[in-house]
Amino acid sequence: MGKTNQSSVTEFVLLGLSGYPELEAIYFVLVLCMYLVILLGNGVIIIVSVCDTHLHTPMYFFLSNLSFLDICYTSSSIPLFLSSFLMSKKTISFSGCGVQMFLSFTMGATECVLLSMMAFDRYVAICNPLRYSIIMSRTSYVPMAAGSWIAGGVNSMLQTSLAMRLPFCGDNVINHFTCEILAVLKLACADISINVISMAIANIIFLVVPVLFIFVSYVFILSTILKIPSAEGKRKAFSTCSAHLTVVIIFYGTILFMYAKPKAKDSSGADKVQVTDKIISLFYGVVTPMLNPLIYSLRNKDVKEATKNVLCQKCSSERM
């Protein structure tokens, strides 16, 4: 019976902001502009990290991975989000929903682990600088980044397969912009306790553990910085990790607020709360990837210099 019910749902309707048409046009323009900035900013980070040999270091290798991840994450959902404004029927196929859920879940979980790897890199650079080249060699940081992607992919495959195997009994309206897993689970007409347990375990592994790891790393980093005698030395040491710390606060602050806070039950009085949840989700999915390259480049002389060098080389080649 469960299989019959599940097969009857061949597509999902994405509600988005359908109840607020006055907001749709505004958000379409905003999100489109933000998406273009994401592609441009993160694309520049990747190009300069690859082309400039001075940036062939663990920190910029992780940063280029983060930029590529942000492009993939937003590209898995933003085009769908934008197209929904242009179509009267805002639908996505059952299989398409699964693919979109898998990609977004992979990128989110991978970024959690990747940020903790970047925190370890900063810890070694500041607390153990004499052994930095040995500890953070290519044979170390490449597997660290690869492990982040593999862990995110495995977790996403598990969560997505558990969610898409559930029976959906007729109600196919997702009260969200995309196939967000919590919104999809609300449509299931079966026990979702296994999903809840698996997501709770995943939250511990991909949220709590990395946050604790980053926190401990920065405790040692701050302790080391405070021991530096000169104010200039303290400023330089802190500037090397301030961008990463800012990204961590924005990323984890938003995602923890989204998933750790109690969810409002569906009722006539919960519309404003649901709209707020959607806007927060939009902030997490668009604004954070847009800010990452800006945060890392505005106060980073190496990135600015590398960008100028790459542009100058391109101009010179075009003249020739």
What's residue 6's pLDDT? 45
Average pLDDT score over residue span 155-171: 88
What's residue 20's pLDDT? 67
Does 68 have pLDDT greater than 90?
A: yes
Q: Please report where in the chains the tokens 């709360």 appear, as a residue.
A: 273
Average pLDDT score over residue span 140-163: 94
| CA-based nearest residue to 149, from 255, 69, 214 | 69
Task: Please tell me the distance from the alpha carbon of residue 155 to that of residue 202, in angstroms, as a whole number.
Answer: 7
How many CB atoms within 10 Å of residue 209? 14
Are 86 and 52 within 8 A, CB to CB?
A: no
pTM summary value: 0.85
Are 172 and 187 within 8 A, CB to CB?
A: yes
Mean pLDDT of the chain: 82
Average pLDDT score over residue span 228-249: 86
What's residue 297's pLDDT? 73
Question: How many angstroms separate the Cα of 78 from the Cα of each of 71, 73, 111, 195, 219?
Answer: 10, 9, 18, 26, 37
- Per-residue pLDDT tens over the stretch 80-92: 878 877 776 778 8
What's residue 285's pLDDT? 77
Does 94 have pLDDT greater than 60?
A: yes
Nearest 5°: phi and psi at 77? -135, -35
Does 4 have pLDDT greater than 70?
A: no
What's residue 269's pLDDT? 45
- Per-residue pLDDT tens over the stretch 250-304: 888 777 666 555 555 554 445 555 666 667 777 667 888 888 888 877 666 666 6
* pLDDT band at 42; cut points 50, 70, 90: very high
What are the tokens at 76?
Answer: 């898995």
**What percent of the chain is predicted at pLDDT more than 70?**
79
What's residue 171's pLDDT? 76
| Cβ contacts of 12 within 8 Å, gap of 6 or more | 91, 92, 93, 94, 97, 172, 173, 174, 179, 184, 187
* pLDDT band at 64; cut points 50, 70, 90: very high
- Per-residue pLDDT tens over the stretch 164-221: 888 887 678 887 778 888 888 888 888 889 999 999 999 899 989 999 999 999 999 9
Task: Please tell me the distance from the alpha carbon of residue 101 to that of residue 92, in angstroms, as a whole number.
Answer: 12
What's residue 291's pLDDT? 85
Kindly state the DSSP code that residue 147 receives in the 8-state scheme. Answer: H
Q: Region of 14 please: left (phi>0), alpha (psi -120 to 50) or beta.
A: beta
Amino acid at 249: I
What is the CA 244 to chain-centroid distance, rounded?
14
Helices (H), the chain: 2-8, 21-51, 58-75, 78-86, 94-127, 132-135, 138-164, 181-185, 193-203, 209-226, 231-260, 271-282, 288-298, 301-319
Does 17 have pLDDT greater than 60?
A: yes
